[in-house]
Each structure stands twice: as C-alpha cells, then as structure tokens.
Amino acid sequence: MYINRNKKTNKDKILLHGNKRKKERNKTGKINMESSTAVKEKDKDIRDQQKALRRKMHNLRAGILAFGILAVSGLLYAEISFMKTGEITVEAPEYTVITTEKDRRAEITAALNSVNTDSSKTQIDLTIPDYCPVNYTAYSPIAMVYDKTDGKVLYAKNENERCSPASTMKLMTAAVALDLSDKDFIFTAGEELDLVQEGASLAKIKKCYSMDRAELIDGIILKGGSDVSYTAAANIGRLLCDTDDVSSFEAVSRFVQVMNTTAENIGAKDTNFTNPDGFYDEDNYTTAADMIRIAVYASKHEEIMSSASKDYAGGKLYSGQSYEWANTNKMVIESSNDYYEYATGLKTGMTENSGYCMVATAERYGHEIVCVVMNCDTAEHRLFDVESLLDISFKYLGDLSNAPSEAS
C-alpha cells in the first residue's frame, strides 16, 4: 500500500460576462439604445440562468458530501461561456479525491509493516569461502566482491570492520523513500534543509521546491544531494509520526529509524545510521559486508538502477525550476576517462573522515557483480581497485563458463 500525497488540480474558471448594452451611433450622430424593456427581459433571462447554475453547483457539492467523499482536491471546475444567443454551456466538473492526514498515516503504517515483512525475506548469505577466487591486493583497507547471480563471495578484505559509509548510505535513503511512497508522491523541500551540514554534497534545491519521485531519486542517487536526501526523509518522516505537530528534526529522525530497521531486516546488523545522507558522525557506521546487503536490496528498485546508470538528468522540477545534475559515478559515463564498459551503477561517497568509498555494480557473462571499496586514500586508488576487482572477477567467471575471450 502506498501514499498518494499530492495531485495536480484544476482551478475554478468561471467566466461570467456582465450585461453589455450595445451603443451605436446613427448617421446623425445620435445614440440609439436597445429598448429598456428588451434589456430588462434579457437581464432577467441571464439572472435566471445564473441562479439555475448556482443551484446545480450546490446540488453537486451536496451530492459529494452525501456519498461520503472525504475531501475534494481543488475547487469545482466549470467553464461557462455565453453564446451569441445568450445561452450558457457548462463543462462537466472533474473531481480528484484525496485522503486525510489520518488516512495517510494509516496507509504509511500498513506500507511500513509490509516493507518490514518483505525486507526480512531478502537476506543474502555472505559466507566467506575457504578460498576466494579473486586474488588481488587492494589499496582500499576494506573491500568485498559479491556475485549476485550465483550468490557467492568472490573477494573479501576486512569485510566486517566498521567504517564510515559517506554518501554510499544514500542507497538506503532512496530505497526507504521508494518503499513508502508511490509514483505520484510529491516531495517538497522545507525547513529540513537547515539541518544539512556545511560541506555536504548538494543538488542545490531550495525551500518550497517540489519534486516528483523520479526527480527525487535522481537528486539522491545520481547527483548525491544531501539536501534532497533530507527532503525525502522529512516528507516521509512527517507521515510516520503520530501527530502533525512535529519538527523537521523529529520527522527526519523518524525516517532514519526506519532506515535502521530496514537495514536490520535485510541482515545488515552491524550498521547504524544517524542521518539520511551519510555525513560523518562517529555513530554513523557500516561494514563492507553490510554495504553489499544494502546494495543488493537497493538494486531491487528499478528506479534506483535507472538513475544510477544515467550520466545526466535535467529539465524542470515539478515546481518549475530548471536543474542539471551530472552523475558522480564516472564509470557509467561513456565520455569519461573513468568509463567502464560493463558498469551499471551504483553510488560513490567521500568525506574527509570516510575517505573515498564506492559501491559499484556491473554485469557480464550473465553475472551481476557488486563491488564495495571503503575508506580508500585517493579517488584514483578507489577507481583502480574497483576496476581491477571487477576485471579479475569477470575473468574468473568467464573462464568458469568457458566464455570466449575478448580476442576471439
């Protein structure tokens, strides 16, 4: 079950024309006016028609209430136009039904219960084999490679050591936002933008900017905007709370609680989130193994994978402002020197305390691979590790399946 928070509505457009008495000058220059009797009769006809229209509109509203519709989105739309004969034509009104805050909360509670049940079924086995087939010495102090297709670990280095996730944790932010909304949900930025830390990565949205769900996911995954992450958290978090009287901080905190619950449900039990964007906090941590679990869970959402594979997103937001966002993951950008032919996503991250982090996905020989490197010292070493681990993994899988070599 999902929440349908906002709908586009039609504005009332009632076009009423007042009486016009035509004045024409005759050849002598005198003014001829329609007879007062004819004018009065015409005025009376128009008033009668207007009264009849008002009665119809009143009956329509009464009918809506009688059928128990909780609310009507927008005002009654009626377009009235006078024909030359003085007749009035009325277009049929359109109605959009919305739910009350109480109903929204009931829906999101049901959706949350469903997510908790479903996410617990998505746990994966990350048992480390006695011999990992990928033999490589990574620059990154923490790394792991997982064959999602066969469900096997191909490489592991300090995979259970705690580390700061930086923006890679936005994978969970996006996944939870998708879990608890539907495609028509409109996210509006507000006071929660004041909670974004100085130095965080930004998509440069402002208060009162509105985004549809696809734009929101691009802002979080493709651009890596902390401002968009907080917007997602606050909009969903307010509906997760039991009352309307909640601060932005309380709403965001409630959303983060759901992120932690979801992480635990999918088996990421050595992960703790304190914010929705991954900005450094000593209590905001994860492991390479848990990031594999989070990446696998996030990759089940088509909108995340679609966003992560694009090199660019741009146009106009739902609220009308122009935007241009380039993907921070250069491995999917064909014109980039960092382009990797088999890459399909997923998310980069970097803070001074976290170092250079990356969750990368790639597909070749019918195998989907997830590669995680954390706390690397430079962006160059991060990229070298990811590409090397993917190359060696695909070489192993290609040999295993007797796939033809690139030269043949």
pLDDT value, residue 59:
54
Q: Are strands 355-364 and 88-90 parallel, antiparallel or unpaired?
A: unpaired
pLDDT value, residue 41:
61
Instruction: For residues 314 and 325, give the distance between their C-alpha atoms in angstroms, rounded to a whole number.
Output: 6
DSSP secondary structure code for residue 276 in this structure: S
Instruction: For residues 377 and 353, give the distance between their C-alpha atoms in angstroms, rounded to a whole number.
Output: 10
Instruction: For residues 373 and 167, give the distance between their C-alpha atoms in angstroms, rounded to a whole number.
Output: 13
Q: Which residue has the higher pLDDT, 321 or 245?
A: 321
Instruction: For residues 134 and 214, give the distance between their C-alpha atoms in angstroms, rounded to a whole number.
Output: 37
Query: Mean pLDDT, to the nearest integer, of 222-245?
Result: 94
Mean per-residue pLDDT over the chain, rounded: 82
Q: Which residue has the higher pLDDT, 62 or 362?
A: 362
Q: Decide if pLDDT at 93 tops 50.
A: no
- CATH code for the structural domain at 101-400: 3.40.710.10
Residue among 151, 132, 79, 27 at smallest CA distance from 143: 132
pLDDT value, residue 243:
79
φ, ψ for residue 67, nearest 5 deg: -80, 0
* Assigned token pair, 305: 């994978």
* Assigned token pair, 168: 């890679």
Instruction: For residues 156 and 292, give the distance between their C-alpha atoms in angstroms, rounded to a whole number.
Output: 11
How far the first Cα of the chain sits from its last, in Å, is 51
- Tens of pLDDT, residue by residue over 109-166, are 666 666 666 666 778 999 999 999 999 999 999 999 999 999 999 999 999 999 999 9
Question: By the 8 A CB rule, do 177 and 207 touch?
Answer: no
- Tens of pLDDT, residue by residue over 319-373, are 999 999 999 999 999 999 999 999 999 999 999 999 999 999 999 999 999 999 9
- Tens of pLDDT, residue by residue over 215-232, are 999 999 999 999 999 999
Q: Decide if pLDDT at 79 tops 50.
A: no
pLDDT value, residue 405:
53
- Tens of pLDDT, residue by residue over 152-176, are 999 999 999 999 999 999 999 999 9
Q: Where are the alpha helices (DSSP H) in 101-150?
A: 101-119
How many other C-beta atoms are found inside a 10 Å radius of the C-beta of residue 43?
Answer: 13
Query: By mean pLDDT, which of 4-13, 54-63, 142-151, 163-172 is the weakest?
Result: 4-13
Residue among 221, 232, 237 at smallest CA distance from 344: 221
Q: Which residue has the higher pLDDT, 63 or 296?
A: 296
Instruction: For residues 101 and 348, give the distance between their C-alpha atoms in angstroms, rounded to a whole number.
Output: 36
Instruction: For residues 326 and 340, give the distance between their C-alpha atoms in angstroms, rounded to a whole number.
Output: 17
Confidence tier at 55 by pLDDT (50, 70, 90): low
Instruction: For residues 160 and 293, give the distance between their C-alpha atoms in angstroms, rounded to a whole number.
Output: 12
Q: Where are the alpha helices (DSSP H) in 87-169?
A: 101-119
Q: Decide if pLDDT at 83 tops 50.
A: no
